[in-house]
Amino acid sequence: MQFKDQVDFIRQHMKRNKLRVATTILAAMMGCAFLIVLASVGFGLHKTITDDVLDNRKVTEIEVPSKVEADEKITPAEVQAMRNIPHVEAVVERSGVAAEAVAKIGARSGYVNPILSDLKEEQKAGLALSEGAMPKKAEEVVVGYHFAKALLTDEEREASEEQQSENGFAGSLIGQTFELELTPYEGEAEPVSWSFTVAGVLKEPAKDWMSDGSVYLDDSWAAAFNEKLGTDEESKSISVYADGLQSVGGISEALKDDGYYVYSVTEELGSMNMFFTALKAGLIFVGTIAVLIASIGIFNTMTMAVTERTREIGVMKAIGAQPKLIQKLFLMESAAIGIIGTGIAVVLSYAISMLANWLVPIIIKSSLGEQDSEGFDMVISLIPWQLVVIASIISIGVAMVSGWRPARKATQIDVIQALRQEL
């Protein structure tokens, strides 16, 4: 019997019992769809949290808080040695100022966050500008994207407190000279002021709710600030930047071997990936139970099919059909039920996933309120192709296993007894 004839044989028998076959396909579809949708929630949560971590940090950044020996400071020679590690793009040392910082342009003023750093290394690390250029002189600085909004007049500041609205500095900041007034947090020293010129403005932060009012100054100003303010040198934070995400792990291990504490996004993602891998495996296991329950229907359908076709099987054996062919026909029928059910389940799962990703965030935002839900972005369900393949293999495999026993039983039917059975 040719393959085409085998397919026609199966189709005819499935048409003969449309209702029973349809309900069996429905059961297989529901089991497979439940497996895909349930597991997709794990994939969706994994993507949401991973994207949130990656959006809030540079993926190539490795923080070096200190050496393992707590009493030892990181020396300039050791910083230079970090730069010589293979695949290191830049090593940035940043420090703050132990003083309250206020920027002033005319009648406008606002609190800012001064950061002392090597701006050439910052540029290597990926410091990007929305306008202007990197400083060429010590008196030139780079300011944050929201620096202009922080500069308010007294009238605007009072209005913003009452109406929750801000105006800020209008026009371009490039070339503008402002006064940076520093007041020490401790002691009774008088405020000290310096004048700086804006050379560039940083790009807007990735998240809408982030506000960047920083001022990047050349680290050569640290000594002058400390001398005038009578403050001690602020401790420096060191960040190492790799040339790609794939290099972060190797550089982190090299720094650990050299005796440094390190923290990078790969450390966080590694623990998260382990947790979500276990979660997704658990969800797939629970979903598989639903598929196994659906397999009972396939087993019953195929058992009934063998019972109803006893005479046909006897005729096939009498004209020379091999037991392997008979077994193959019944296995193909159970596989067909599994394939049809799985195909419908995949389409249904994608539809449910799209609906969940559209509807659930709306419900959550409405319950949180407009202000609390600002910047809220969540993927409830995600169906990667790997999940579809795993679910399809499980669903079709379980369907064929369910049909194996009835197919085996069909090969053991006695020809004489089968031909004696009444139609």
Question: Which residues are registered as beta bridge partners of 119?
Answer: none
Q: Are residues 12 and 70 in the same domain?
A: no
- Check residue 166 and give its pLDDT: 59
Query: Are 333 and 226 in the same domain?
Result: no
Per-residue three-class SS string for 197-259: EEEEEECCCCCCCCCCCEEEEECCHHHHHHHHHCCCCCCCEEEEEECCHHHHHHHHHHHHHCC
Q: Are residues 252 and 104 in the same domain?
A: yes
Residue 233 one-letter amino acid: E
273 plus 254 within the same structural domain: no
* 241 and 342 assigned to the same domain: no
Specify the pLDDT at position 423: 47
Any bridge partners for residue 63, and if so which? 239, 263
Question: pLDDT per position in the chain (423 positions), as tens?
Answer: 677 767 776 777 777 778 888 888 898 899 999 999 999 999 988 888 877 766 655 778 899 988 887 667 888 899 899 999 999 999 999 998 888 999 999 889 999 999 999 999 998 888 889 999 999 998 999 999 999 988 988 888 777 655 555 578 888 899 999 999 998 887 666 888 999 999 999 998 876 667 888 999 998 898 888 888 877 766 788 999 998 877 888 898 899 888 888 888 777 777 788 888 888 899 999 888 888 888 888 788 777 777 666 666 666 767 777 777 777 787 888 888 889 999 999 999 999 999 998 888 888 778 766 555 555 577 888 999 999 999 999 999 888 888 887 777 777 666 666 566 554
pTM score over 0.75: no
Q: Are residues 232 and 341 in the same domain?
A: no
CA distances from 306 to 13, 98, 100, 400, 407 (A): 11, 86, 86, 15, 8
Q: Are residues 30 and 73 in the same domain?
A: no
274 and 324 assigned to the same domain: yes
Structure confidence at residue 240 (pLDDT):
93
Q: Which domain holds residue 281?
A: 3-56+269-420
Q: Do both 65 and 52 map to the same domain?
A: no
Specify whether the CB–CB gap between 344 and 25 falls below 8 A.
yes
48 lies in the same domain as 68? no
- Judge if 189 and 323 occupy the same domain: no
- Whether 115 and 212 map to the same domain: the answer is yes
Of 263, 292, 326, the residue that ends a domain is 263
Looking at the 3D structure of the chain, how many domains does it have?
A: 2
